[in-house]
Amino acid sequence: MPRLHIRTAQPDDVALILALIGELAEYEKLSDQVVAAPEQLTEHLFGERPFAEVLIGEVDGQAEGFALFFHNYSTFLGKPGIYLEDLYVRPTARGAGLGKALLGRLAGFAVERGCGRLEWAVLDWNQPAIGFYQRLGAEPLDDWTQYRLTGPALRDLAEKAL
């Protein structure tokens, strides 16, 4: 049985985190969208005002996956929540229980921190992930459509709002 270990990322993990982000992007066929630099991750994860947290998942002492998450807030519940931005386990480590262990640690954080929920998004075509999440008891939010503003549209709206 493989030995699993989940630990909180440290500043010297930035290169590893960036490599795992690249592997996730390749899996999701989104490699062309990765523009994050080590300096950005260092500042945003470990700087004066961290915007997100990262867990590193290890199998037999080797880093094989990660979970990047941050807090959000539910006005309906009147409680904070945790939003899982990225969950990735290297193909060679899949099936060892690392994904479940990472999500389990996040669920523990949510309970310890008084959160009302743990949420994330998954690409519609990613049936292995969808099946995995459903086996854990997660439910899709089919009534919601996710929206995003980026690049010029984000800047245009910001400028028009002034």
The one catalytic residue in 27, 73, 83, 133 is 133
Give the Cα separation of 22 and 100 in Å (integer): 21
Cβ neighbours of residue 2 under 8 Å, at least 6 residues apart?
59, 60, 93, 96, 97
**DSSP 8-state code for residue 126:** -
- Active-site residue 73, yes or no? no
The Cα angle at residue 53 between residues 10 and 103, in degrees rounded to 5: 110
* Cα–Cα distance list, 149 to 131, 143, 153, 154 (Å): 29, 20, 6, 5
Query: What is the residue whose two structure tokens read 């979970």?
Result: 67
Catalytic residues: 133
